[in-house]
Amino acid sequence: MAKRRLTVQQHRRIAEKQRKTVLGLDSDGDVADGGIEGVVITRFGTQAAVLPPDFRPGDRPQRCHIRAALADLVTGDRVIWRPGSPTGVVEARLDRASVISRPDPRGKLRPVAANVDRIAVVIAPEPEPHPNLIDRYLVAAEHEGIRPLLILNKVDLMGPGDSHIDRMLADYRALGYDILRVSAEAGIGLAEMRAYFARHTTVLVGQSGVGKSSLINLLYPEAQALIGELSAQMAKGRHTTTAATLYRLPGGGQLVDSPGIREFGLGHLDSRAIAEGFIEFRPFLGTCRFRDCHHAQEPGCAILDAVARHAISARRFGSYQLMVRGGGEG
């Protein structure tokens, strides 16, 4: 007897039932059988610190074991977990709204943080900001589908010789990028920064020495205390700055800090993906004479024509060329 074939609708119903079973959800989509929805605050090896989605600053997380099938669980992931004494269990990971990935030493992409909606690139007059490095951060953010923000920290150190930084930021603002000018030391622009961060889940990236830690301490003064507590609870003294940590800010919003996502590699992106990361290129992409145009010296290249007409800045185009060749700062 021939096996009865299922309709598309039946396949969908079966798949949805299996999904709810795996996630510990009942027929109405609510958490069932003791499963609790939570968010991963940080992770160490086979364990994670988990809190409810509506946790408040200062709440103590639950230490949980992670099921072997959830090897790619990262800070910011929404999960279904079950409490235990002293250790609970993370049963399942819910769908991600976004994920930040970076290549590991073998070149394989690994997720680092999830459900982030802003990448804040921090620069300062010292160390000298490199436009190509900034462009690399922006291309990485655009590739991840996460809106970037530029923060100029240490504005109190700006002098007459730093007018090129103002011109550079004006160019980025003209492209539509959000820009904040602050000083952690002098207390400049902090109210505006707090108001911006209160609306988002943000990760900080940037060169060493630009003041990321100072900004974190201003936004969440208890950060170091939380790091120490998590270190003692989760890693037997291992310092948690080796792992991403999610903070709920007192004024609203969330902040992710991680050395693992302070720098991005672009080796996993081909020239087409890099070009798409330059937002001013997008109106011209796909309009070149040749479909496989590399925007180098081909006749009829729409990008080269836009550069010649100053519709695309020569500086940004040069930055693109450096990335495609695998060079540039950072």
- Using N-to-C axis directions, what is the helix angle for 131-144 and 314-325, rounded to 10°? 70
How many of the other CB atoms lie within 10 Å of CB of 286?
A: 9
With cut-offs at 50, 70 and 90, classify the pLDDT of residue 11.
very low
**Predicted pLDDT of residue 84:** 87
Runs of H (alpha helix) within the chain: 8-23, 131-144, 163-174, 190-197, 212-219, 223-235, 271-276, 302-308, 314-325
pLDDT tens-place string over residues 252-280: 999 998 765 656 667 788 999 999 999 99
Instruction: Look at residue 283 and tell me whether its pLDDT is greater than 80.
Output: yes
Greater model confidence, 82 or 12: 82
**Residue whose pair of structure tokens reads 């890693």 in the numeric block:** 235
**DSSP symbols for 204-235:** EE--TTS-HHHHHHHH-TTHHHHHHHHHHHHH
> Across residues 61-80, what is the average pLDDT?
94
Instruction: Look at residue 21 and tell me whether its pLDDT is greater than 80.
Output: no
Omega into 148 within 30° of 0, i.e. cis?
no
Greater model confidence, 325 or 15: 325
**Predicted pLDDT of residue 181:** 97
Q: What's the mean pLDDT when you consider all of the chain? A: 84
Domains 13-93 and 99-261 share a fold: no
Domain edges within the chain: 13-93, 99-261, 271-325
**d(C-alpha 156, C-alpha 186), whole Å:** 7
The answer to whether the beta carbons of residues 301 and 293 sit under 8 Å apart is yes
| Fold (topology level) of 13-93 | OB fold (Dihydrolipoamide Acetyltransferase, E2P) (2.40.50)
Instruction: Look at residue 297 and tell me whether its pLDDT is greater than 80.
Output: yes
**d(C-alpha 39, C-alpha 79), whole Å:** 6
- Looking at domain 271-325, which of 3.30.365.10, 3.40.50.10420, 1.20.1070.10, 1.10.40.50 is its CATH number? 1.10.40.50
pLDDT tens-place string over residues 132-183: 999 999 999 999 899 999 999 999 999 998 999 999 999 999 999 999 999 9
pLDDT tens-place string over residues 193-231: 999 999 999 999 888 889 888 898 889 887 654 555 555
- Looking at domain 99-261, which of 3.30.70.20, 3.40.50.620, 3.40.1160.10, 3.40.50.300 is its CATH number? 3.40.50.300
Which of 266, 126, 277 has its CA nearest to residue 207? 126
**DSSP symbols for 252-282:** S-EEEE-GGGSS---TT--HHHHHHTSGGGT
Instruction: Look at residue 114 and tell me whether its pLDDT is greater than 60.
Output: yes
